[in-house]
Amino acid sequence: MTTISTPFWGNDPSILFDKNEIVQIWPMPTMTMEEKMNAVSRMIILLSLLGFLCTFSIRFLIIGIVTLFIVWIFYQSYKSNNNKKKEGFFQDGRNQSSQIKITNPETLEVNLRSEFEDINKKNPFNNVLLTQINDDPHRKAAPPSFNPDVHDDINKETKKMIQYLNPGIKNTNKQLFGDLGERYQFDTQSQWYFYSTPNTKVCNDQGAFADYLYGNMPSARNGNAFALVQDNLRYTLY
């Protein structure tokens, strides 16, 4: 009968000759890792002794000792990896799902509505319009289009825009996007050519931008020694 508390022989060598477990020389699926390693080690010792008694060659004893050392290294490596997984350190990403924090959908919806510009049928991607430079210079940024909810809203408002621009066609959503093939074409082809620009806010701080570009540039007018000699034929920019 297997027990979870059975130690590995590297921690307690006497376990290999315990009267209750000495007959376990073949690892079984119901055994713990420690019991499997102990069973394999007993088999190695038994085969090494049988080989030595049959041939009187010390080579079998050396092979047995080396094999036991390999078993010990294997168990230590297994134990180290097992402890890392218990402590939460992982590399292959299989345990990452338990570490991911799911954002409250209601909180995300509130942030999308309060921190970003609203999506509408006249401007589904919320790019800056020329009229907004003067009329709405402090407009908010467009919501992130890579967000699944925002992506769906953009598609819905785009369909509304098509109906808005084609008032003579009744129910364009049904006539143009009624079947699966038309909806697939809309999602995968029609929307390819449209996107939100990298900057979706009105850039009106021209002074700061100019200072960023030219603020520290040396000038001959200010008497900078390096700028004064740049017109010299012997001067190079290298």
Residue 53 confidence (pLDDT) above 70: yes
CB–CB of 39/31 below 8 Å?
A: yes
Least confident of 3-7, 96-100, 171-175, 208-212: 96-100
| Mean pLDDT, rounded, for 149-165 | 87
Give the pLDDT confidence score for residue 105 in this predicted structure.
57
Which residues, in sequence order, are CB contacts of 203 under 8 Å at separation 6+? 209
Give the pLDDT confidence score for residue 238 in this predicted structure.
60
Predicted confidence (pLDDT) per residue in 95-110, tens digit: 444 444 445 555 667 7
CB–CB of 9/37 below 8 Å?
A: yes
Give the pLDDT confidence score for residue 115 in this predicted structure.
85
Least confident of 10-19, 97-106, 114-123: 97-106
Does pTM top 0.85 for this prediction? no
Q: What are phi and psi of 123, to 5 degrees?
A: -150, 75
Q: What percent of the chain has a predicted confidence (pLDDT) above 90? A: 0
Whole-number Å distance between alpha carbons of 129 and 122: 11
Let me know how long the chain is.
238
Give the pLDDT confidence score for residue 228 in this predicted structure.
79
75 burial type by CB count under 10 A (0-12 exposed, 13-18 middle, 19+ buried)? buried
CB–CB of 52/60 below 8 Å?
A: yes
Residue 1 banded pLDDT, cuts 50, 70, 90 = very low
Residue 144 confidence (pLDDT) above 70: yes
